[in-house]
A and B are shown apart, each in its own frame.
Chain A
Amino acid sequence: MRFFLAHFKLRDKLKTVRITPRWFHLGLFLIVLGPGIITGAVDNDIGGIATYSSAGASYGYTLLWVVVLAIIPLAVIQEMNARMGAVTGKGLAALIRENFGLKITFYALIALLIANFANIIAEFAGIAAGGEIFGISKFISVPIAVILLIFFILKNSSHKVEKILLIFCLFYISYVVTGFLAHPDWHSALVGTIMPTVNLRDVGLVTMIVTVIGTTIAPWMQFYQQSAVAEKKILIKEYRYEVWDTYAGAFITEFVAFFIVLATAATLYKNGIIIETAADAARALIPLAGRFAGTLFAFGLVSAGFMAAMVLPISTAFSISEGLGWGAGLNKKFREAKQFYIILISLIVVSGAVILLPNLNLIKIMLFSQTINGMLLPVILVLMLIIINRESVMGNHTNTKTQNVITIITTAGVITLTISLILFTFLGK
């Protein structure tokens, strides 16, 4: 409550203080900034880093154009969520329940829960692997991470958690620095970025392109960003700032991804090293790009894992609680949102505990999560398209014809890619 009062006071202050329009807009942008950038940053979680590292290690600079191109569908889809959140003040799960009833909501939420649970396990695996590079056993790093996460979440309002997450976003600079430290061949990188090359006969290459785009757009992102916009009470009149926040988020995702591909292309690809996980990439970087570069990469890994292990449980708990009508949100006290906090804490504790189990096959868990995400994403995108075109929900802010053409083409493209990804996964190619 205090946050909202402060937030609104600041908004009023900005309107009364004599400032130039440019500073006024910048001020409002800084207030609204958060949901889009955080969603974009968390998109480069452990799974994302693994995919981009693998793309760079296996195909060098040739896939940089895919990373740049992925900004478009990401920005288009996330903008719809930002708009729905600002117009309705509700999260995506609530809108799905109110427009399509319990059955569709329930099964969508079950799929989201399973996929996110597998993802959270992978985030803890990243924290554990990153910690081990620094010589810290997973039996120390994971419990510490669990305690810190619960402490951050229980002790802080959504506003403070957002601030913490924004600080974590800065740590992604480590990947940009690593990219420079790897001394890439800038000429080849430029060619790879602006000259798309696809050899359709190379099944491995096509699979990698599909995987890169499939990793970039995941269902949790739609649920998270919309609920973050709704919880922050961003109004439709401030929506244009939220659009910039969303576009900035999409840009940051791919900017960081670009440097991860660059770093691994310049080192691992050059030396013919193929990797499976993000931790493999960090370990392999040490002898090739120096201890500092490898350490930075591992630091980025721990930070990305920690950030995603905070965002994903919040998003999952919020969506489930909202879909079933329970109180939700970090601004609420425990007794006001019992179910929300129970789901949130259980997800963190259980995922942390699972990582400590011996003989855990992380690659299988990741593939499983990717498959569930791939099955859920088309459903969510179609539901979103229907909702955003309903005047009864969106008023004057439904999609225009042009927006519909762009979103339908994007949605169809993303659906085709994710279905192909599932097929590639099952066909084992």
Chain B
Amino acid sequence: MRFTENIVGLKVYDHSNRLAGKIDDLIVSTRGNYPKVNSVVIKFDQISFIGETPLIEKANNIKLIVPFSQIIFSPSKVKLRLKEEELHSRYMTKDEILVKRDLIDCVIVTSGGQSIGRVNDVVLFEVGQELEIFGLSVGIVGIVAKLGLEIPIELLDKGFGKSFVETVINWKYVKDYHPHKNEVILSVSEKIEAAGQIDYIQSKETKKPSRLKKPPFIIIPWLLIEKAFKKKSSDQTK
């Protein structure tokens, strides 16, 4: 399971392992139950060819659409399979959308016309060598995680002894979407609980580690409390 926000910004290396640019967005075809990522938008730092055509001078910060089949995707980096001049950049078609630009931050509206939140992130699944949209992350936990404030959740997770869940609405419930209106329409009315949820712990494993250093003034008292709890429970079992 991958989060779009973690894929966007990944460094892209060329076939000889030199930094070429970074991922700017993902393109999915809207046909099918679970749309597949068929291309990625790469922002090249510098480029000398567009397709096989050499440029008169090197162009900087150019965005090109590269088919997913022409990259090797791994969670930490992306590598181009082909040389720069062999890449076949392409255009977007009518039935394609950009995941970050057209889906993230859209309002989610139920079939009853009720707004239930905004898309915090788009969850993807790796199926073999491909990426498919699994669903839309929505809810407070997703917001907190996206803001880089994972520490309070981790502490609450430990404190309450239960895992907080990140609500993900399965893509199968998405009936329609209007990128120009920034709206995603669901086929269900209000019973979103049925749509699907992912444990925060489970989602955390696939996310980038928090950039925040854990402040010792929170962690130390917490560790002491935890130690005391453990001691108490071990005493009780004795």
Where the two chains meet, the residues of A that have a C-beta atom closer than 8 Å to any C-beta of B are 94, 97-98, 101-103, 106, 324-328, 336
Contact A106 B143 (CB under 8 A): yes
| Interface contact B116-A325, CB-CB below 8 Å | yes
B residues 93-112 touching A (CB-CB < 8 Å) = 104-108
Nearest-neighbor residue (CB-CB) of B184 within chain A: A325
Q: Which residues of B contact A94 (CB under 8 A)?
A: 107, 182
CA distance A60 to B105 in the complex (A): 51
B220 to chain A, nearest CB (A): 27
Given contacts A97-B105, A325-B108, A102 and B114 within 8 Å (CB-CB): no
Q: Across the interface, which residues of B come within 8 angstroms of A326, CB to CB?
A: 115-117
Q: Can you name 15 extra interface pairs (CB under 8 A) apart from A98-B182, A106-B143?
A: A94-B107, A94-B182, A97-B105, A98-B105, A98-B106, A102-B120, A103-B147, A324-B117, A325-B108, A325-B115, A325-B116, A325-B117, A325-B118, A326-B115, A327-B115
CA distance in complex: A233, B146 (Å): 33
Q: How far is the CA of A325 from the CA of B138 in the complex (A)?
A: 10
Kindly provide the distance from the CB of A331 to the nearest chain B CB, expressed in whole angstroms: 12
**Count: A-B pairs, CB below 8 Å:** 37
Question: Please, could you name 30 A-B residue pairs with CB atoms under 8 Å apart, sorted by A?
Answer: A94-B107, A94-B182, A97-B105, A97-B118, A98-B105, A98-B106, A101-B104, A101-B105, A102-B105, A102-B118, A102-B120, A102-B146, A103-B147, A106-B143, A106-B147, A324-B117, A324-B118, A324-B143, A325-B107, A325-B115, A325-B116, A325-B118, A325-B138, A326-B115, A326-B116, A326-B117, A327-B114, A327-B115, A327-B116, A328-B115
- On chain B, the residues within 8 Å of A325 by CB distance are 107-108, 115-118, 138
Which residues on A sit within 8 Å (CB–CB) of B116?
325-327
* Chain B residues in the interface with A (C-beta under 8 A): 104-108, 114-118, 120, 138, 143, 146-147, 182
Q: Given the complex of chains A and B, what is the CA–CA distance between A324 and B104 in angstroms? A: 12
CA distance in complex: A98, B183 (Å)? 11
Inside 8 A of B143's CB, which chain A residues have their CB? 102, 106, 324
Nearest-neighbour CB distance to chain B for A353, whole angstroms, equals 25
Q: Shortest beta-carbon distance, A326 to chain B, in Å? A: 6
B182 A102 Cβ-Cβ under 8 A: no
Q: How far is the CA of A101 from the CA of B100 in the complex (A)?
A: 10
- Closest CB pairs A-B (n = 8): A325-B118, A325-B117, A327-B115, A325-B107, A98-B182, A98-B105, A97-B105, A336-B114
Contact partners of B105 in chain A: CB under 8 A: 97-98, 101-102
Q: How far is the CA of A98 from the CA of B102 in the complex (A)?
A: 10
